[in-house]
Amino acid sequence: TIQGSVVTYTLADNGPLDQDLESGKMDDPVTVAVPYVPPSVPAPAPAPVPTLPLFGLGILVSLLGLFGLRKLRQ
């Protein structure tokens, strides 16, 4: 369970979260990572996603079509 800044979970010996099958020993695979940004730090601006221009996309589609036709003719 997560309540505010406290994370609580229960492990049982040889239970579903115990990776060590030896009785009396427990191997805990659970971890929690939450990025922390202080309130005084402004959020970073979103980065643009690079894309192909329409002309480049047309050339790519044409080439893929030609390669496909060549494969069908063989």
CA 20 to centroid of chain Cα atoms: 27
Please report the pLDDT score of residue 55 as a whole number.
93
pTM: 0.34
Q: Hey, what's the torsion of the CAs at 61, 63, 66, 70, to 10 degrees?
A: -130
pLDDT tens series, the chain, 74 aa: 778 777 787 777 777 767 777 788 777 666 776 666 677 767 778 888 888 899 999 999 999 999 999 888 87
Q: What is the rounded distance in angstroms from the CA atom of residue 30 to the CA atom of residue 8?
A: 11
| Greatest pairwise CA separation for the chain in angstroms | 67
